[in-house]
Amino acid sequence: MKKIGSLVLVLVMAASMAACSDANTIESKATGENSQVATTVDGGGEAKNQQSEEAGSVEVTLDTTGNFVFKSDDVEILLGGDPDAVIGKLGDAKSVLDVPSCAHDGTDRVYTYNNFTLSVYTATGSDKGYISDVLLISDLIGTPEGLEIGMDVEKARELYGDADKETDTTWIYKRGTSQLMLTLNGTKIISIEYMIP
């Protein structure tokens, strides 16, 4: 049992490091004692800052229009969406881990469930986060369209069309402000991850 727990932890940390390498930084820093910065990412992926009068708080919001939606049983998980209702519906996680976000200024809270992990990003100084990452860690679960770990990568082309970015080891599909990244070993899919880059 300890080996399985260790393997899950290694997978979560590997996913965090992979997300760091391709991340586009969203900066959200308070600019003064009596100001607040609201960082909004629009459909084109650009961050927008807004000033307000409230002291010491940061708000990070995303335009989730057209973003990927992952499903676990009957629970819909919108990338960039509000995590509170989703986590309540998913029930108790096997483990919860808080780690400094390497992609942004703040923390990532990683919830591990039976077949996937879900990460919630929260900016420093903010009370509210958003769903930033879902990593499938088992071939017992797939995407809503039917893609699973272990399948031939051409099944992805059949289900999603041509990837927005293809290399020998990764295919990336973009929707709204979210991405679906497939990691490959030859022609086989070895990892499926939804993310907000």
For 78-91, what is each residue's pLDDT tens digit?
Answer: 999 999 999 999 99
Residue 30 lies in a domain: no
What residues pair up with 96 in beta bridges, in sequence order?
A: 111
Q: What is the token pair recorded at 7? A: 């393997």
Rounded to an integer, what distance in angstroms lies between the CA atom of residue 50 and that of residue 41?
Answer: 11
Residue 28 lies in a domain: no
Q: 3-state class of 113 per DSSP?
A: coil
Q: Are strands 58-62 and 36-41 parallel, antiparallel or unpaired?
A: parallel
Q: What number of helices (H) and strands (E) belong to the chain?
A: 3, 13
CA-nearest of 46, 19, 11, 16 to 179 is 19
pTM: 0.73
Share of the chain above pLDDT 90, in %: 60
**40 has pLDDT over 90:** no
Q: What is the token pair recorded at 155? A: 């099944």
Integer angstrom CA distances of residue 160 from 42, 50, 197: 23, 36, 19
Residue 112 lies in a domain: yes
Residue 175 lies in a domain: yes
Instruction: Look at residue 145 in the predicted model and tell me its pLDDT.
Output: 96
Residue 101 lies in a domain: yes
**What is the span of the domain harbouring residue 119?**
2-23+35-195
Number of domains in the chain: 1
What residues pair up with 79 in beta bridges, in sequence order?
A: none
Structure-derived torsion over alpha carbons of residues 19, 195, 24, 22, reported in degrees to the nearest 10: 40
Would you place residue 58 in the very low, low, confident or very high pLDDT band (cuts 50, 70, 90)?
low
Residue 58 lies in a domain: yes
